[in-house]
Amino acid sequence: MNRTRLDRLLGDLDTDGYLLDASQNDANQLYLSGFSGPDPFLTLYADGAVHLLVSGLEYGRARTEAAADTVERHADYDYEYGGREERYDMYARFVTDKGVRSVSVPPRGPVGTADALRERGIDVVVDGDDALGVVRAVKTAEEVDAIREAQRANEAAMRAAESLLAEADVAGDGNGGVPGGEAGGDAENAVEPGTLLRDGEPLTSERVAEEIEVTLLRHGCALDETIVAGGAQAADPHDRGSGPLRANEPIIVDVFPRSKATRYHADMTRTFCVGEPDPAAREWYDLTERALEAALDAVEPGATGEAVHAAACEVYEAAGEPTFRTDPETETGFIHSTGHGIGLDVHESPRLASGAGELEPGHVVTVEPGLYDPAVGGVRLEDLVVVTEDGHENLTEYPIEFVV
């Protein structure tokens, strides 16, 4: 955590403090408290100090683990297992005891707590500009290292996925099935020609995702939303993919693990094709590789997220592919933004999109152009980079190769 930056940005707000009511599932809470608690707890930033209020169950751990100046527990406010209103009474006392009469809260903070504090005379203001998110967007060297380490695990997982695809047999090409095995032959006969096979059984999106996630666990990371999508499924950027994979068509593999130790994320996408892609898919891949390079070239301090997005869009638009810039309603072409910040959240500030502001050293962003159309499928390539003083460093060390 960059405490100087925190003090400056939160100090600029027109309230006495910044209040979080959230569990470890909230990135702001993890960042400001430095504490992993499974149930919601309070963190108050005021006068340059961080104060925690936790249940008795979390007290011992919070005192040793939290990055806080003070840690209090419910019993310090004579609260046991009382009702809702008594709990809010405790919250109000915790805040006012610090001399705080007004607090900023993030837009997604809980309305129940906000309303209850207002009823108790505390002014609660929504921090619409997301000051804490802006603080979090600029990473320290330690945070960058955490993301880099997660990306190493990510690359191991991507290698495991690529190997499964590369080693797959293809139904109908004479090599399918268990070598010499009757069962394998039967399975091959039962599936459509072109289906990828492993040990004579169809190789599914789920099976590849499982291999990715097991590899991530073995490398200290977790993820349960892996995207392994081929064919028309790949034309929907949020489709996670399901069922048998096929040869000769693009397969998007998008992996965004979180380190269990640091809780920082990595993110990478590659698109693979087993066999021979058709010319349209090949052209899309080449275009997307050029769009990735153009966008990466544009990443430097002072460049806007909009300019980076424009660099990718221009490659596609010059080739006649629709983008949201040329057609806001298009459902094919380049139908998402070029990238997003990443850290304790997998999606955080800054954005690489229309209207996005200037990049700063320490911003860590994904760069992920892609093309989508159910008639062709989908192609996406994604690297992870950190903005440096004089450009950027690519944190991704995985080759870009289509045919496996």
Under the rule (CB under 8 A), what is the footprint of its own copies? 25, 37-40, 56-58, 60-61, 75, 80-81, 83-84, 105-115, 124, 126, 128, 210, 213-214, 217-218, 222, 224-225, 236-239, 258, 260, 324, 328-329, 331, 335-336, 347, 353-355
Residue nearer to its own copies on the CB measure, 243 or 355 = 355
Residue nearer to its own copies on the CB measure, 147 or 212 = 212
Residue nearer to its own copies on the CB measure, 135 or 356 = 356
The Cα–Cα gap between 219 and 232 comes to: 32
Residue 224 beta carbon to its own copies: minimum distance, rounded to whole angstroms: 4
Residue nearer to its own copies on the CB measure, 372 or 402 = 372
Residue nearer to its own copies on the CB measure, 345 or 383 = 345
User: Is 327 strand, coil or helix?
Assistant: coil
Residue 359 beta carbon to its own copies: minimum distance, rounded to whole angstroms: 18
Residue 240 beta carbon to its own copies: minimum distance, rounded to whole angstroms: 9
Residue nearer to its own copies on the CB measure, 148 or 258 = 258
The Cα–Cα gap between 98 and 90 comes to: 13
Q: Is 48 exposed, middle or buried (0-12, 13-18, 19+ CB in 10 A)?
A: exposed
Residue nearer to its own copies on the CB measure, 239 or 358 = 239
Residue 361 beta carbon to its own copies: minimum distance, rounded to whole angstroms: 26
The Cα–Cα gap between 301 and 291 comes to: 20
User: Is 278 strand, coil or helix?
Assistant: coil
Q: Is 153 exposed, middle or buried (0-12, 13-18, 19+ CB in 10 A)?
A: buried
Residue nearer to its own copies on the CB measure, 16 or 213 = 213
Residue 327 beta carbon to its own copies: minimum distance, rounded to whole angstroms: 11
Backbone angles phi, psi at 104, to 5 degrees: -90, 145
The Cα–Cα gap between 52 and 353 comes to: 36
Residue 175 beta carbon to its own copies: minimum distance, rounded to whole angstroms: 27
**Looking at residue 403, what DSSP letter applies?**
B
Token pair for residue 343? 């850290």
Question: Quick check: 343 and 364 in contact, CB under 8 A?
Answer: yes
CA–CA distance from 83 to each of 38, 86, 146, 161, 204 (Å)? Answer: 20, 5, 41, 50, 50
Residue 276 beta carbon to its own copies: minimum distance, rounded to whole angstroms: 29
- CA angle 14-18-19, nearest 5°? 140
CA 206 vs. chain centroid, Å, equals 20
Residue 90 beta carbon to its own copies: minimum distance, rounded to whole angstroms: 14
CB atoms within 10 A of CB 369: 32
